Copies of this chain bind each other. A is one copy, B any other.
């Protein structure tokens, strides 16, 4: 207040014509908006490795800009099921690009885009491209699972009620943490197995349960890290265009289904990107980011098409043009809506017509989502 008065006076004294109040004139006042506009949101993580990572928050219906959130380096984000709370992990080095690192969990209130709290976790947190498999909930939303890499891999378990890390579960040779029922998670391993871990509320944990045999071949047909969640199961896309469904069967990670979406298709099509598959539960349809001319090393290529896949019929329903996206998310309303972002820094909203074999067409775009828009999430 004192400063405001000071500069107010100083400004007016200096400003070249002096101010004169007019009977008709009503001065405006500066304010701060308390809440973002209501409605479902889309979150785009613009990850940064030498400054603040920024999360763009847009309206799911019209991609209107609602505001942003700033966190630290190499940010990850996770949205609560009700869309009301966003968690992030990110890093703050003492001199931004060097010096002692502090790994921080932030909890944000989405409606007001404000901080609720923050606390530090282990510095082993992986400094890696934003991915859902690397920051997840467990046991409903009681715990956070945070991917570590030193580069030895482990999963940090964070008790959200206590606001602290309670365990570090070694997961050597494995990557990602996908919550299963209760306090468990699956992880993909370099020997092709999928392993199941479980922990107790006090942070104790036991030995992992391995799939009976390798579920995938990391050399010949590697799996993308970030699957679609289909009921209690996970559907992974492979570099070669197979969809693998993994379930917990009698407590053991098990491959329960697998089929190709590219067999017999001309043009060497394959999935590409980071979050390559999204699932619309009400219709049982998966959407996969696809590129043609696939070869070894093309697995991060942006999408030329989005393929709608009927998981029960194991059939590609439709191939819609895409816009070089690397990350896709699906709204869960009755009619599917897709949000995808990628190389061009443009977020595209697609409307999907279930009557037209789930064809997707652009219905809105938001440009300039930042230098490295790595992940899109939605509460729709």
Residues of A within 8 A of B (CB): 3, 6-7, 10, 14, 16, 48, 50-52, 54, 70-72, 92, 94-98, 104, 150-152, 190, 219
Contact = CB atoms under 8 A, between A and B. Distances in A.
A151 B51 contact: no
Contacts of A51: 48, 50-52, 96
A6 B149 CA distance: 13
Nearest to A371: B371
A94 B92 contact: yes
Given A50-B51, A52-B97, A92-B94, 8 more contacts: A3-B151, A51-B52, A52-B96, A70-B96, A70-B97, A70-B98, A72-B95, A92-B96
Contacts of A3: 150-151
Interface SS majority for chain A: loop
A14 B174 CA distance: 12
A219 B16 contact: yes
A50 B50 contact: no
B96 A95 contact: no
A16 B104 CA distance: 36
A98 B52 CA distance: 10
Contacts of A16: 219
Contact of A96 (B6, B72, B151): B72
A54 B51 CA distance: 11
A35 B54 CA distance: 35
Given A50-B51, A50-B70, A52-B51, A95 B95 contact: no
Given A48-B51, A70-B50, A151-B7, A95 B97 contact: no
Nearest to A152: B6
A261 B104 CA distance: 57
Contacts of A94: 92
B50 A52 contact: yes
Which 10 pairs between the two chains have the least Cβ-Cβ distance? A51-B51, A70-B97, A52-B96, A50-B52, A52-B97, A16-B219, A50-B51, A7-B151, A51-B52, A14-B190
Contacts of A219: 16
Nearest to A72: B96
A51 to B, nearest CB: 1
A80 B190 CA distance: 54
A96 B50 CA distance: 10
